[in-house]
Amino acid sequence: MNYKKLGNTNLEVSTICLGTMTWGEQNTQEEGFEQMDYALDQGINFWDTAELYAVPPREETYGHTEIIIGNWFKKSKKRDKVILASKVAGPMRAYLRGGGNNYGIDKITQAINDSLKRLQTDYIDLYQLHWPERNTNMFGRLGYEHKENGEWNKFEDVLGNLKRFIDAGKIREIGLSNETPWGVSKYLELSKEKDLPRMMSIQNPYSLLNRTYEVGLAEISIRDKIGLLAYSPLASGYLSGKYRNNQLPKNSRIERDPDFWTRYAKPNTEKAVDAYYEIANKHGLDLAQMSLKFLEIQPFVTSVIIGATTMEQLKTNIESVNINLTDDVIKEINNVQTIYPNPCP
């Protein structure tokens, strides 16, 4: 396994991060336990979850993933072996603390305390804001329309709220998710100006089908030491190749919840995936491993968040750390990006 520092901290996190959002929906607790045992044995010390999980988010399964992780901590007695990341949800439906914004002191206090209880731990290593409260582009939405109306907590107030829990020892570090270059820069600026806690990571989508992070945010990640935690690195499974030739494997995400996973069902998705498949096939590589390794070697990436529903998928994805991409492979990957630029932004 490979490791990198989280932001400018002394925390060394594995460059493969164990994603967990299927536990409690597509995966049982027993399957989640098996994944955690195996990942830890392979040197993965970094796990990512969220209060909102399992996904697709439903009131009936809210918090179930954290409960599964907490039960594993209780059983295994290995909490100290894991650098654990979780998230507080952005503006949400009524079933979550009455709906609306969640980063004010009362709601974020409840969110943190409830997560700690479900996780059966005294602290969370990295606590992230799952998405912005303000109106902005996220989750693949293009065509930014600026709106001044709408209430959202000031960034300095949010940082001040989080500081209370850092001082209390309930969270160690903080990070962002689904954030824009303006949002990241503003948080970093206010942290420095007002001597407030500093964001250490950005969890945004990044894959061979969506390299928009490279515009703007990649430079911020390198210059300001706030690396990317790349989520959806296989584009909901499209970059494993399992949906090629109109295949729809039973119990796959797209087969189970087609109306939720629409982000990657775009006009040029199939053409781009086929092109990447040909590169992998030509060079004797597994498509999923090639796709993951390309992300891992980027200098602005801290860790790649993998999510698997089967042990076979998990083992394949973790093994990606041990492959090498030649200059020719990288050149050919970049050529496909030129032909089909970001088909799934």
Which residues are catalytic, by number? 53
| 8 A C-beta contact, residue 344 and residue 210 | yes
Tokens of 270: 């199939």
Angle between helical axes of 155-167 and 181-194 (0-180°, round to 10): 60
Going by C-alpha positions, the residue among 236, 270, 232, 273 that lies closest to residue 256 is: 236
| Stated length of the chain | 345
* One-letter-per-residue 3-state SS of the chain: CCEEECCCCCCEEECEEEECCCECCCECHHHHHHHHHHHHHCCCCEEECCCCCCCCCCHHHCCHHHHHHHHHHHHHCCHHHCEEEEEECCCECCCCCCCECCCCHHHHHHHHHHHHHHHCCCCEEEEEECCCCCCCCCCCCCCCCCCCCCCCCCHHHHHHHHHHHHHCCCEEEEEEECCCHHHHHHHHHHHHHHCCCCEEEEEEECECCECHHHCCHHHHHHHCCCEEEEECCCCCCHHHCCCHHHCCCCCCHHHHCCCCCCCCCCCCHHHHHHHHHHHHHHCCCCHHHHHHHHHHCCCCEEEEEECCCCHHHHHHHHHHHHCCCCHHHHHHHHHHHHHCCCCCC
